[in-house]
């Protein structure tokens, strides 16, 4: 009886999104376990994701399901669940991104399997949004993103560049080869560092496994791609202070980050548990407040809509490689990874999440900054 009541509540919540339970559309969900309704209503996004991993429900087009769900702002009409409450309390009372915890995301996510990531991400090994205005392929979109960053920083031959959160070294390799600069990349992932050192062998690129807070040398320019999401509200100011002390007066700092249109504890309980431990999305308000007294904002570029295409391409690659790697994992991992990629694709399509490139200068460029697109 209780499950029937929960089902009625779920039906009413999904109606504005045009989603039906056991409906005929590709974005409708098929529920196989009646306990699904109570679990999701009690646990919110954590319950939704875990019940999918457990095989309690199916959907032919997960990305379209999430697009419709989030475009109709259905989560805004759901009462705050216990995981959300505890997550908010933890974020406020604890520093989940403290220096002692800095390597956790590297160990849990980025150290997972270089072979899997290589097959999924493509030749560039770029694990961030590609730039798609003219690109036809994933590799081309990532190269376009690399070049966009280099042009925005106005890189010059012989300059020394800092890459905070350098990943597998794709940008460092591109900048060193195409723009003849020296690059120092830092990461908290040992596996990323090992791969990046091999990738950049013979180039003026140095890769270090270290926390950004330990940086203390000066650079002509700084870039940080897809790392600020791991910094955390309590550490934003220190992060910017580190960047400021490492940047020459004449330099530029490009911050490339996923963001939220609203300020607050923008972390998803399921994503932080299974994919990105301690992750939290900044808002533009967070960024602007944090850089006060340290940097002047020269340019803000939002191309978050491009992330949907990027994620769909990653998912296609993941599906192709799965038969070759599945002996290392289990069905629950497969469903977790599929849910991760396609739920995020739907969220970006609904503009529920944003992607910003913010160009910062210490004191403002004389004559102004020329926006590059």
Residues belonging to the chain: 373
**Among this protein's residues, is 344 annotated catalytic?**
yes
CB neighbour class for 105 (10 Å; exposed up to 12, middle 13-18, buried from 19): buried
Instruction: Establish how many alpha carbons lie within 13 A of residue 68's alpha carbon, considering only the half-sphere containing its beta carbon.
Output: 18
Residue 110 in tokens: 């980025």
* Closest to 187 (Cα-Cα) out of 202, 169, 204, 200: 169
How many angstroms separate the CA atoms of 252 and 270, rounded?
35
Q: Give the 3-state DSSP-derived string for 230-289, with helices as H, strands as E and coil as C.
A: HCCHHHHHHHHHHHHHHEEEEEEEEEEEEECCCCCCCCCHHHHHHCCCCCCCCCHHHHHH
Residue 102 in tokens: 């800095």
How many angstroms separate the CA atoms of 328 and 91, rounded?
34
CB neighbour class for 247 (10 Å; exposed up to 12, middle 13-18, buried from 19): buried
Report how far apart the first and last C-alpha atoms of the chain are (Å, whole number): 57
Given 129, 166, 246, 344, which residue is catalytic?
344
How many angstroms separate the CA atoms of 287 and 96, rounded?
19
Catalytic residues: 344
């Amino acid at each position: 009886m209780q499950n029937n009541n929960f089902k009625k509540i779920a039906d009413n919540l999904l109606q504005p999104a045009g989603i039906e339970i056991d409906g005929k559309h590709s974005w409708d969900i098929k529920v196989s376990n009646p306990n699904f309704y109570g679990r999701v209503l009690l646990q919110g996004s954590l319950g939704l994701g875990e019940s999918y991993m457990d095989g309690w429900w199916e959907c032919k087009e997960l990305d379209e399901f999430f697009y419709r769900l989030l475009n109709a702002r259905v989560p805004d009409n759901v009462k705050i669940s216990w995981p959300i409450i505890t997550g908010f309390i933890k974020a406020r009372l604890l520093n989940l991104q403290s220096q002692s915890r800095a390597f956790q995301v590297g160990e849990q996510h980025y150290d997972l399997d270089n072979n899997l990531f290589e097959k999924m991400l493509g030749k560039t090994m770029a694990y961030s949004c590609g730039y798609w205005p003219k690109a036809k392929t994933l590799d081309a979109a990532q190269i376009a993103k690399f070049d966009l960053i280099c042009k925005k920083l106005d890189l010059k031959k012989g300059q020394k560049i800092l890459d905070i959160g350098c990943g597998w070294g794709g940008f460092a390799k591109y900048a060193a080869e195409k723009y003849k600069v020296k690059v120092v990349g830092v990461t908290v992932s040992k596996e990323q560092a090992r791969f990046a050192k091999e990738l950049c062998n013979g180039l003026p690129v140095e890769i270090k496994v270290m926390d950004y807070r330990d940086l203390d040398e000066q650079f002509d320019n700084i870039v940080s791609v897809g790392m600020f999401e791991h910094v955390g509200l309590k550490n934003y100011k220190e992060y910017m202070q580190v960047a400021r002390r490492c940047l020459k007066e004449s330099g530029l700092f490009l911050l490339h980050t996923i963001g939220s249109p609203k300020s607050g504890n923008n972390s998803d309980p399921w994503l932080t548990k299974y994919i990105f431990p301690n992750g939290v999305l900044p808002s533009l308000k967070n960024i602007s407040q944090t850089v006060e007294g340290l940097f002047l904002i020269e340019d803000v570029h939002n191309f978050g809509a491009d992330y949907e295409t990027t994620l769909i391409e990653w998912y296609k690659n993941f599906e192709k490689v799965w038969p070759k790697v599945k002996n290392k994992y289990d069905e629950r991992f497969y469903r977790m990874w599929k849910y991760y990629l396609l739920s995020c694709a739907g969220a970006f399509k609904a503009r529920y999440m944003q992607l910003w490139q913010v160009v910062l200068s210490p004191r403002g460029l004389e004559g102004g900054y020329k926006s590059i697109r």
